[in-house]
Amino acid sequence: MKGFLVAALLTSGPAGADRPPPRPSYLDPTTESYDGPLPDRGALVVRDAFGGAHRLMVEIADTSPLRTRGLMWRNDLPEGTGMLFIFPTEVVQSFWMRNTFIPLDLVFIDRKFRVVGVVQWAEPRTITSRAVGKPSLYVLEVPGGWTSRNGVRAGSTIELEGALRSRQGQP
């Protein structure tokens, strides 16, 4: 019996060999293979310069890994959708398009939900810094050309809807 136990231990390999190796404690959100948590989803309305309302379904990037990853590695962003970046403090934000395959418009929004500036047609796969030079708490990324097609510019406003609204304490 003792010989059987030793033989069983020798053939089974080292302890824990049947378990997958542990995952690293830090995953780089800029890599294509990143499989961290997916962003929550919500809805918002953008009020254009002419009083029109444009409803968007958005992914919510409200953690550092989600904000870092953004829309990297995506091949499309359907009309009527976007990504809303929520930052912990209102400061001058700056964005790049590293590993982003599609042109985007970036809408910079202050804590009062007023658009303080727009960057149109940000060129994909570049590390050029894009900013509007004014503090923002939110940045909305939408398909390239969306802001000009919908009359969105500085002075336009944003209204959060549903769970996204209550999450940010908007009245």
**Residue 12 covered by a domain:** no
Distance separating alpha carbons of residues 37 and 1, to the nearest angstrom: 49
23 versus 79: which is more confidently predicted? 79
Q: What is the CATH number of the domain that holds 71?
A: 2.60.120.1140
In the chain, the number of structural domains is 1
The answer to whether the Cα torsion of 74, 88, 119, 55 is positive or negative is positive
Give the tens place of pLDDT for each residue, 107-133.
999 999 999 999 999 999 999 999 999
**Residue 145 covered by a domain:** yes
**Residue 136 covered by a domain:** yes
Query: Please, which residues have CB within 8 angstroms of residue 67's CB and are 6 or more apart in sequence?
Result: 61, 85, 87
Give the tens place of pLDDT for each residue, 78-108.
999 999 999 999 999 999 999 999 999 999 9
| Domain boundaries, position 60 | 42-168
pTM summary value:
0.79
Q: What is the pLDDT of residue 18?
A: 67
Q: What is the pLDDT of residue 35?
A: 73
Strands 135-143 and 40-47, by their bridges, are unpaired
**Residue 37 covered by a domain:** no
Closest to 65 (Cα-Cα) out of 108, 111, 31: 31
**Residue 116 covered by a domain:** yes
Structure tokens at 64: 């550092």
